[in-house]
Amino acid sequence: MTRGVTLLQASLLLTLFLAVSLGVLFSLYHSRLAETRLAAEARQLADMLASRASLASLGNIVPVDLPTSLGGQQYSVECRENEFVVRLGRGEFSAAAGTRVVPCLLEAGTRVYLCPTESGILISDRPLVGYFEEPLSISENRPRFYDLSKIHPEVAACALWCRFWLGKEATRYSENVLEVEGSFLEPVAEIEGESVPAWVVKGMRQAPTPSALKDLPSVMEAENSGWLLSPRQALREVKEREWRDVENSIVTVPENASILPCVVHTSVGRFVAWRVSWENYTIYTRALLWWWKENLTGFVYSSDKLRLG
């Protein structure tokens, strides 16, 4: 009887030992699996930032929405001169930027813009235009995008946002819904302005799939033809002018002024334009050249608080 109890106790102890061992191994396995998954997410974020920086170096203003957490854990991102470093727990994961980046720290859960400047890629909480390109020669024939902008200026303004802020071409549209690489986007826009109201595109968001779509003329084609002013060209054109306020004081347009596509409403029509703003000043300036054969005059600029000197 005593021997039987002893064998039973030994068997129970062995079973308990095996159960505890398996539990520990199971816990270690899942812990290692979770660490591997977190490391993969951190590397993916670093690689994504590096890829977006390369896109920005081509002259695009690239928006990036940073996740609020990685696998439910807090993280931080340091932008060094030539790499992005994601810190997660005790780990550090980096990716080469492939271009010079102005050093800074990024806050999780925020939207930032990777903006090309003369000193490298500047990461800001709003779109900035920091360097200029040489103007292109102008084609004799107006691009197809010009005609679209006259008929559907809101669609044209949204296409400009996709081209210069998303870095992608919209290929088809239905009303104000644009197709971009198989996804459908609609504008996030606001009406502002006093003397000349403007419909300003602040961003794009996911939209339901429309039933009928039309081909959208290429923004890049219009840009290459010289008829479309890029954000940098538009800002340069504004900066080259002398502006004065109501007190006749000269106001300087800064290089880091914010610029967004918009549609201005004038007494003769609606026109695609660029909205240049800083501090409490706003200037609406043309986005396209005006065809000399048009019966009506085109749009050049407008501002509620500033006038040309």
Pick from 242, 251, 301: nearest CA to 275: 301
- Under DSSP, the state recorded for 164 is I
Instruction: Report yes or no: 253 and 235 within 8 Å, Cβ to Cβ.
Output: yes
pLDDT, one tens digit per residue, over 216-271 is: 999 999 988 888 999 988 998 888 888 999 998 999 998 888 999 999 998 888 99
| Cβ neighbours, 10 Å, residue 194 | 8
Q: Which residue type sits at 6?
A: T
pLDDT, one tens digit per residue, over 131-147 is: 444 444 667 788 999 99
CA–CA distance, 73 with 255 (Å, rounded to integer): 38
pTM more than 0.75: no
**The 91-96 sheet, strands edge to edge:** 91-96, 83-88, 76-79, 104-106
Question: Residue 82 is encoded by which pair of tokens?
Answer: 């030539």
State the pLDDT at residue 121. Answer: 86
Listed range (79-88, 92-101, 182-191, 205-214) with the worst mean pLDDT:
92-101
What's the pLDDT band for 117 if we cut at 50, 70, 90? confident
State the pLDDT at residue 29. Answer: 46
Q: Which percentage of the chain shows pLDDT scores above 70?
A: 82
User: Is pLDDT of 14 > 80?
Assistant: no
What's the pLDDT band for 30 if we cut at 50, 70, 90? very low
CA–CA distance, 273 with 277 (Å, rounded to integer): 13
Question: Residue 139 is encoded by which pair of tokens?
Answer: 């084609």
